């Protein structure tokens, strides 16, 4: 099907109210490792981010890279292991995490955004010590804390570095690595970094891009809206599991802490970001505080 000129014009014109609404506002975009599989989609993502910046919004990218870490681990003969959606991270795994997140994945996104005319700057939480973290212990049914190695929970995020980049027209691209009091690195789930950063920056929107149409119910149907109460039910009956656990926890926390709108969207849909921000078409699941 070809789109007629009039339809094209109408689609473009539909963007105007959204451009006005979000101009000068911060949008935190979490780009999940599972949404990064296709070269064309990666290019589309980079173009969308550049476009948001050029029309006056402040996109801040936080990326994951779970599958990419798994691939490199396999090459060194290790198997990725997750508990409650968090990677068990021994010292050797942490080296791989830093190489993949702080290096390969971060630089690829930075290069793609710059290729399309943006000015992206890659950061980890070690830069300017802006994501301070401490060791995370998971809770268990018998109240015994579970030690999963060098995994961090966020103590504080200093927003000044990101704000400085925003005001100078740079696009921050952030890898989810935190730094402890002695300069030690911590592996942090990217959804948690994105959620906390959105809160700290007072973002207008938090968008979590992943590889499902959104949050699905037990029958596999898309839930377009999700309240805290429904989340509790879906946690309890196991409908939400694995990587969706930290994602929803972070989304809910951000929604409760005043982030304007929180969405989980399908990063496999071409230009999902533009569709979500600049059109009336709802894509994915919106997370509501109450
Ligand atoms: N109720 C649910 N609805 C949708 N996806 C779910 C649900 N529960 C668990 N998942 C899983 O969560 C995954 C997304 O989380 P994750 O693998 O961490 O992706 P990302 O790399 O984007 O953070 C989905 O691919 C799916 O397998
Ligand atoms: C502690 C923990 O699990 N950290 C994640 C960090 C990357 C991430 O979150 O990547 P996705 O968004 O692609 O899942 C990991 O090691 O896989």
Q: Helices marked H in the chain — which ranges? A: 5-14, 16-22, 39-54, 66-75, 91-97, 106-115, 160-167, 190-201, 228-236, 244-256, 272-278
Assess whether the C-beta atom of 106 lies below 6 angstroms from ligand 2. Answer: no
Assess whether the C-beta atom of 152 lies below 6 angstroms from ligand 2. Answer: no
| pLDDT score, position 3 | 67
Tally the C-alpha atoms within 13 A of residue 148's C-alpha that lie toward its C-beta: 24
DSSP 96-144: HHIIIIIIIIHHHHHHHHHHTT--EEEEETTGGG-EEEEEEEE--TTSP
CB 210 within 8 A of CB 194: no
Which of the listed residues 242, 245, 252 should we mutate to test ligand 1's pocket, taking the one with most ligand atoms within 8 A of CB? 242
Which of the listed residues 189, 195, 211 should we mutate to test ligand 1's pocket, taking the one with most ligand atoms within 8 A of CB? 211
Which of the listed residues 61, 71, 87 should we mutate to test ligand 2's pocket, taking the one with most ligand atoms within 8 A of CB? 87
Domain range for 18: 5-288
Q: How many domains, the chain? A: 1
Q: How far apart are the first and last CA of the chain?
A: 41
CA distances from 29 to 112, 142, 183, 254 (A): 16, 36, 27, 13
Is 189 within any annotated ligand binding site? no
Is 20 within any annotated ligand binding site? no
CATH number for position 101: 3.40.1160.10
| pLDDT score, position 140 | 86
| pLDDT score, position 157 | 98
CA of 95 to the centre of ligand 2 (A): 14
CA of 283 to the centre of ligand 1 (A): 16
Give the tens place of pLDDT for each residue, 203-252.
999 999 999 999 999 999 999 999 999 999 999 999 999 889 999 999 99
Give the tens place of pLDDT for each residue, 177-194.
999 999 999 999 999 999
Which ligand is the nearest neighbour of the Cα of 34? 1
Assess whether the C-beta atom of 187 lies below 6 angstroms from ligand 2. Answer: yes
Give the tens place of pLDDT for each residue, 62-113.
999 999 999 999 999 999 999 999 999 999 999 999 999 999 999 999 999 9
CB 247 within 8 A of CB 265: no
Tally the C-alpha atoms within 13 A of residue 10's C-alpha that lie toward its C-beta: 6
Strands 177-179 and 185-187: antiparallel
Which ligand is the nearest neighbour of the Cα of 267? 1
Lining residues, ligand 1, CB within 6 Å? 32-35, 64, 66, 191, 210-212, 215-216, 239-244, 247
CB 29 within 8 A of CB 273: yes
Task: Indicate if the pLDDT at residue 268 is higher than 70.
Answer: yes
Q: What is the mean pLDDT of residues 19-44?
A: 95
Q: What percent of the chain has pLDDT over 70?
A: 99
| Predicted structure pTM score | 0.96
C-alpha 222/C-alpha 72 separation (Å) is 33
> Minimal CA–CA distance to 47: which of 243, 278, 202, 231?
278
């Amino acid at each position: 099907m070809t789109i007629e000129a009039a339809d094209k014009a109408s689609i473009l014109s539909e963007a105007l109210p959204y451009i006005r609404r979000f101009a000068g506002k911060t949008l935190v975009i979490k780009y999940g490792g599972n949404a990064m599989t296709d070269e064309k989609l990666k290019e589309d993502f980079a173009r969308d981010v550049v476009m948001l910046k050029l029309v006056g919004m402040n996109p801040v990218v936080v990326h994951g890279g779970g599958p990419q870490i798994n691939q490199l681990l396999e090459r060194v003969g290790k198997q990725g292991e997750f508990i409650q959606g968090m990677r068990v991270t021994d010292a050797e795994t942490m080296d791989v995490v830093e190489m993949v997140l702080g290096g390969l994945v971060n630089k690829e996104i930075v290069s793609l955004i710059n290729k399309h005319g943006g000015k992206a700057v890659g950061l980890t939480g070690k830069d300017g010590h802006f994501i301070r973290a401490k060791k995370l212990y998971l809770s268990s049914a018998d109240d015994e804390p579970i030690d999963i190695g060098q995994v961090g929970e966020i103590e504080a995020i200093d927003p000044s570095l990101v704000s400085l980049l925003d005001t100078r027209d740079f696009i921050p691209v952030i890898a989810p690595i935190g730094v402890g009091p002695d300069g030690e690195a911590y592996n942090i789930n990217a959804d948690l970094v994105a959620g906390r950063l959105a809160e700290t920056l007072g973002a207008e929107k938090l968008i979590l891009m992943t590889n499902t149409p959104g949050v699905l119910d037990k029958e596999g149907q898309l839930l377009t809206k999700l309240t805290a109460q429904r989340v509790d039910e879906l946690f309890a009956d196991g409908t939400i599991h694995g990587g969706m656990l930290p994602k929803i926890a972070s989304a809910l926390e951000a929604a409760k802490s005043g982030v304007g709108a929180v969405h989980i969207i399908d990063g496999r849909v071409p230009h999902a970001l533009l569709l979500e921000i600049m059109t009336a078409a709802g894509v994915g699941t919106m997370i509501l505080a109450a």
